[in-house]
Chains A and B, each alone.
Chain A
Amino acid sequence: MKRKSIAMAFLLIVAFGFLAVQGAFAQKSRLVFMTAGDVNMLALGQNVFAPGFMAENPNVQVITIHTGPGNAGSQTIYEKLLAEKKANKAAGDVDVALVHEIFMKWTMDQDLLQPYAQMTNTWKYVTSPFAKTSLGINVEGYVMPLFQSQTAIAYNPDYVKNPPKSYAELKEWVKKNPGKFGYNGIKGGASGVAFVMGWVYAETGKYKKYAVTGPFEKAEVDSWEPAYKALKEFNKNIVITAGNVGTLDALNRGEIWMGPVWVDMFFTFMNEGKMDPKMRLALPEPGMPGQPMFFVIPKNAPNPELSRKFIEYVTSPKIQANEIVIRFNWYPGIDGSALKGSIPQEVFDKIYRDVTPADLQKKGLAFPLADYYNAMLEAYERWAQ
């Protein structure tokens, strides 16, 4: 009899406990944050944004979903939103998405997003030109940049005393030092792609037309043959590395003396002890491309106000300084002047030592317009291989 009542009591406790837990969850509103990008973006969402935002908003549960690196990651998000639209789903599953530039090209004419940026209280800090035009498309009001990532040439100062100041000087350097420059081609990650785009800008001198104004003309593509033939010659004296990380590893192991890298990956490797701290950066004339990642809110987001609140939190000067710049070594998505005083001098000096804010302004280029972008990649396969 006694045993029976104990069992009964235990059951009751379990049942009540279950109800209580369910009740607690029911009261919390859910915010689904879907992010493209490498696994570092998942870590950023799960370990930084979600706990930080939930600490300030205890009745919100942030769920981070990761779709994968590169354009393919953004594409998955695009396909999800498109499928919801085709199914006429009034309230979608995604509250906030973090995407690459190319995503805007796919979605802007599909009516999948809502304009929200001007309504946020952090809009006043946004000065980046990328937040207005991206790959030649007007995106103003639909996006808030989380960060700006930039490519540059990393080099080993033990062997390279005077890093090349332009692509032309780099060509000469490679002739004198065969096998000591490495990049990852165009199929092993975007640092190689950025290097090739910069090459075309340098050879043709038509950055404005290809990346800003357009329009797309087939005749331009045909005019690139000499530029790519020159790149084919250049490629004879260099090594192709195994990916973005491959270039960094090869540089660190001393296999190569110079190579194009993502600046944020370069500094993160350094912070983690995977890169010799003596390595330096250079941004050759006419410059190399970089790209932002954008926050967007789907048109059918279930809680647009909550979505905005989340984006306001992440684009606030505090988070931008502590997480984006200090911890992850990106250039901030909002204006650097808003961060003054929030970033310790040594971090500021490290990040802006070789590539100064003035350099970034002048030589931090955009990737080409989408049609030129595709044409440049295919031209590489046609003429430079």
Chain B
Amino acid sequence: MTSLQPKMWGERKLPPYVLLLFPSVTFMVLMYAWPFISSVLQSFFISGKEGGVTLANYVKVWELYRKDIAFTFAVTIFNTFLVGVVAVIFSVYFRLRQNRVSALLSAIFKLPIFIPFVVVSQMMNSFLAPHGLLNTALAQLGLVNLDKPLQLFNFAGLSFGFAWKQIPFAVLIIHGGFQMIDNSYIEAARSIGAKLPSVILRVLVPMNKSSIIVALVLVYSQIIGTFTLPYMLIGGKVPTTITVDIAHRVNYFRDFGVANALGVCSYIMVLLTAAYYLRSKIKEARQEVSQ
């Protein structure tokens, strides 16, 4: 570690890299660190009233929104898992079958990445509605009775929307990682008799672990922070997601205290994965150094 210390540290002169770091660090502090800290601080004060530090906002969060927090967590974990599994399967397909069909599919597959969440939400809204496109199409096939259609403005529909939007994004990252793995590894495994599942589970996935984790961490934190899709699909339902509750506290009550306390709950959820991600990165870096 000591080798990382700059030699000029003892002298009074500022090393030149401080100058280079200054703009980016200032930007990070002003635009990310400060809002984050101030949000955490505000969660301990009652909005619009004088008074000292209090846990009242957290008490209210517990009383009114604990179901929503659990729901958000469940939706996020489930979808991260779903997106991870499906994205790995697609990426493996695109990696191992390189022909015109897979090229075309992979091009079409990139489309959802460029569609904003608000558009996806509107689309899902009319697609998944009780008399929406999906249900009427299924009714035409005789699979669904329109008097008792599939109810999809709930966990299932929300998951469908998240998966539709996030799987292509995860594929983009994971497939990129698979491309870096040389064919010789796969051929070697096959030549000693490995079948496709073991090629995937014992060669491709372990060798690509880091990009899979990156994809999952990004998908996880995006799902926790998404407002439009839950708002437009299950807005007024119970339970709903934290983001809808935050908007509700701010829009109707101007209550930044409780809104920030809800925010802190979502930061904690995100920090869990971020901590895991950082730890694995540090471990990797240490391994590289020791090699």
Q: List residues of B (84-142) whose CB comes within 8 Å of A's CBs.
A: 125-126, 129-132
Write the nearest CB–CB distance from A379 to chain B, whole angstroms. Answer: 11
B233 — which chain A residues lie within 8 A by C-beta?
242
B207 CB–A CB distance under 8 Å: no
- Chain A positions within 8 Å of B252 at CB level: 71, 186, 193, 374, 377
Contact A187 B64, CB 8 Å, known A70-B251, A253-B132, A377-B253: no
Chain A residues closer than 8 Å to B237, beta-carbon distance: 185, 240
For A254, give its contact among B67, B131, B153, B231 (CB under 8 Å).
B131
The complex places the Cα of A187 from the Cα of B232 at a distance, in Å, of 10
Question: Could you say which residues of chain B place their CB within 8 Å of the CB of A57?
Answer: none
Partner of B63, one of A240, A253, A382: A382
For chain A, residues 154 to 193, give those with C-beta under 8 angstroms from any C-beta of chain B: 183-189, 192-193
Q: Decide if B234 is an interface residue (CB 8 Å cutoff).
A: yes
Which residues on A sit within 8 Å (CB–CB) of B235? 184-185, 187-189, 242-243, 246
Which residue among B67, B231, B250, B254 has the maximum number of chain A CB atoms within 10 Å of its CB?
Answer: B254
Known: A246-B125, A255-B129. A75 touches B236 (CB 8 A): no
- A381 beta carbon closer than 8 Å to chain B: yes
Contact residues on B (Cβ < 8 Å of other chain), bracket: 20 to 34
In-complex Cβ contact of A187 among B63, B131, B240 (8 A): B240
Interface pair A71/B251, CB less than 8 Å apart: yes
Smallest CB separation, A197 vs chain B (Å): 12
Most buried by B among A70, A75, A184, A253: A253
Tell me the minimal C-beta distance from A385 to chain B in angstroms: 4
Binary interface encoding of chain B residues 205-249 relative to chain A, with 1 for a CB under 8 A from any of its CBs, else 0: 000000000000000000000000001111111101000110110
B231→A250 contact, CB < 8 A: no
Interface residues as binary, A229-258 with B (CB distance below 8 Å gives 1, 0 otherwise)? 000000000001111001001100111000
Q: Tell me if A378 is interfacial: C-beta within 8 Å of chain B.
A: yes
CB distance from B159 to the nearest CB of A (A): 16
- Which residues of the other chain, B, contact A241 by a CB distance below 8 angstroms? 236
Residue of B nearest to A255 (CB): B130
Question: How many A-B contacts if CB must be within 8 Å?
Answer: 79
Least CB distance from A222 to B in Å reads 15
Contact A253/B131 with A185-B237, A187-B240 known, Cβ cut-off 8 Å: yes
Say yes or no: B253 contacts A243, CB within 8 Å.
no
| A72 CB–B CB distance under 8 Å | yes
Asked if B129 and A249 sit within 8 Å, CB to CB, the answer is: yes
> B248: nearest residue on chain A (CB-CB)?
A187
Contacts of B250 in A (CB 8 A): 72
Determine whether the beta carbon of B131 is less than 8 Å from that of A255.
Answer: yes
A242 touching B125, Cβ below 8 Å: yes
Q: Is the CB of B131 within 8 A of A243?
A: no
Set A71, A242, A377: member contacting B153, Cβ < 8 A? A242
Task: Chain B residues near A189: list those with CB within 8 A.
Answer: 235-236
Q: Which residues of B contact A243 (CB under 8 A)?
A: 231-232, 235-236
Given the complex of chains A and B, what is the CA–CA distance between A75 and B256 in angstroms?
13
B288–chain A nearest beta-carbon distance, Å: 48
Instruction: Check B129–A188 contact: CB distance below 8 A.
Output: no
Question: In the complex, what residue of chain B is closest to A253 when comparing beta carbons?
Answer: B131
Q: Please, which residues of chain A bring their CB within 8 A of the CB of B149?
A: 255
- Residues from chain B with a CB closer than 8 A to the CB of A385 are 67, 238
Per-residue A-contact encoding for B3-19, CB less than 8 Å = 1, 0 else = 00000000000000000
- Asked whether A75 lies within 8 Å of B254 as measured between CB atoms, the reply is yes
- CB neighbours (8 Å) of B67 from chain A are 385
Q: Tell me, in angstroms, the Cα distance from A242 to B129 when the chains sit together.
A: 9
Q: B124 — nearest CB in chain A belongs to which residue? A: A242
Contact with A along B157-197 (1 / 0, CB 8 A): 00000000000000000000000000000000000000000
For A70, list chain B residues within 8 Å (CB).
251
Contacting pair A382 B236 (CB below 8 A): no
Contact yes or no, B130 A192, CB < 8 A: no
B 15-70 contacts with A by CB, 8 A: 63-64, 67
Q: How far is the CA of A91 from the CA of B286 in the complex (A)?
A: 60
Residues of A within 8 A of B253 (CB): 374, 377-378
Q: Nearest residue in A to B255 (C-beta to C-beta)?
A: A374
A72 with B251: in contact, given A184-B236, A242-B125, A242-B232 (CB under 8 Å)?
yes
- Contacting pair B236 A240 (CB below 8 A): yes
User: With A242-B153, A253-B132, A374-B252 known to touch, is A188 a contact of B64 (CB < 8 Å)?
Assistant: no
- 23 pairs across A/B with beta carbons < 8 Å? A71-B251, A71-B254, A75-B254, A185-B235, A185-B238, A186-B248, A187-B240, A187-B248, A188-B236, A240-B153, A240-B237, A241-B236, A242-B233, A243-B231, A243-B236, A246-B125, A246-B235, A249-B129, A250-B129, A378-B253, A381-B64, A382-B63, A385-B238
* Supplied contacts A242-B232, A242-B236, A243-B236, 16 more A-B pairs, CB within 8 Å: A70-B251, A183-B236, A184-B235, A187-B236, A188-B236, A189-B236, A240-B236, A242-B233, A243-B231, A243-B232, A250-B130, A253-B130, A253-B131, A253-B132, A374-B253, A378-B64
**Residues of B at under 8 Å CB distance from A?**
63-64, 67, 125-126, 129-132, 149, 153, 231-238, 240, 244-245, 247-248, 250-254
Of all A-B residue pairs in the complex, the 6 with the closest CB atoms, nearest first, are: A185-B236, A188-B235, A188-B236, A253-B131, A255-B130, A385-B238
